[in-house]
Amino acid sequence: MKKVFCIGELLIDFVAENQGKNLSVAKEFTKKAGGAPANVACAISKLEGKSVFVGCVGDDPFGNFLLNILEENNVDTSMAQKSNIFTTLAFVSIDDDGERDFVFSRGADKELKYDSTLKKDFKNNMVHFGAATAMLGGNLEEAYNRYFFDALTKDSFISFDPNYREDLWKHKEDVFIKKCMPFIQKSHPGKFSLEEATLLSGKKDLDEACNFLHQTGVAIIVVTLGKEGTLLSTRDFRKTIPSIEVSPVDTTGAGDAFIGCMLKQIAEHDSLELLLESEQELSQIVSKANKAGAITTTNFGAIESLPTQKQLDS
């Protein structure tokens, strides 16, 4: 089975549960481990895959807590770094439908330094670029781009999730779009929300958005549509794969569970080229990934809510 390297942020989510979506009125917060790439790494490992987290936390109690969580979930943290900057924090409020409001206090995640020794490990493996903060500057953005180049030169299987956060890119959407384009051009699965697909393509119609993104270069597009399922699009076919019915309480991490489950299944295949040409197999992969994402919404907190292989098979 191939390893999946997940590059980007690992942070503390302070979650206001059952207090509405408005952070300004929340009074109580629960500490949770979070960060999209870390969630994906845990999603893969909880499904008995092999994942490596590449990111930076503070050399503080929060950073220790986060790395311990990853290690407890069998994620390889040997490439994680520590900084004397405080661990990045996110404050999250959740309404009755599981929808969220975010505020970031950015710290150590931006301090990730490029490590050239990692390049050799990319060969015959997979690299997932799914950070929400990697294009906001700092050492992390430089490392992210250099690892992207390494993945290209080692002919790695590259996956990309833009993880757009409106609060981080307000009035700078054009910059975000420009920075995403090289990753979209070279990614094998590009995973998008409906908002991201329309933003990055400039098209309001989803079919037109997919056509644009395919023309940009991405071979396989998955657009998560919540309870409606996921649109799976290749240059040869396009279809919506339904999800299972659940009663969501927290949508945090659902997209990460989806792409993590998808990548774990892809990592099990010897011939990625043949897999990518099979409508039936891709549809089955997305269907199972839909289930993983749905299960994750039924509890609070991303990592602890990620399904195990046993749950997914039941």
pLDDT at 15: 83
What is the domain range of residue 199?
Answer: 3-306
The answer to whether residue 312 is domain-embedded is no
- Non-local (6+) Cβ contacts of 313 within 8 A are none
CATH code (residue 252): 3.40.1190.20
Quick one: angle between helices 173-186 and 194-201, nearest 10?
A: 100
Residue 178 is assigned to a structural domain of this protein: yes
Tell me if residue 49 falls in helix, strand or coil: coil
For residue 39, the one-letter residue type is N
Is residue 313 domain-resident? no
Say what the pLDDT of residue 102 is: 76
Give the CA angle between residues 194, 258, 141 to the nearest 5°: 75
Whether residue 276 is contained in a domain is answered as yes
Is 311 inside any structural domain?
no
d(CA 293, CA 60): 31
The amino acid that residue 80 corresponds to is A
Q: Is residue 13 part of a domain?
A: yes
Torsion of CA 103, 107, 109, 115, to 10 degrees: 160
For the chain, how many residues are written? 314
Tell me if 256 is assigned to some domain: yes
Q: Domain for residue 264, yes or no?
A: yes
- Taking the C-alpha atoms of residue 92 and residue 101, their distance in angstroms, rounded to an integer, is 6
Q: Tens-digit pLDDT profile for the chain (314 aa)? A: 999 999 999 999 888 876 666 788 888 888 989 999 999 999 999 999 999 999 999 999 999 999 999 999 999 999 999 999 999 998 888 666 656 677 889 999 999 999 999 999 999 999 999 999 999 988 999 999 999 999 999 999 999 999 998 888 989 999 999 999 999 999 989 999 999 999 999 999 999 999 999 999 999 999 999 889 999 999 899 999 999 999 888 787 899 999 999 999 999 988 777 887 889 999 999 999 999 999 998 887 778 889 999 998 88
Best CA proximity match to 197, nearest among 238, 162, 237: 162
pTM (predicted TM-score): 0.94
- Amino acid 259: pLDDT: 97
- Our count of domains for the chain comes to 1
Question: CA-CA distance, 129 to 223, in Å (whole number)?
Answer: 16
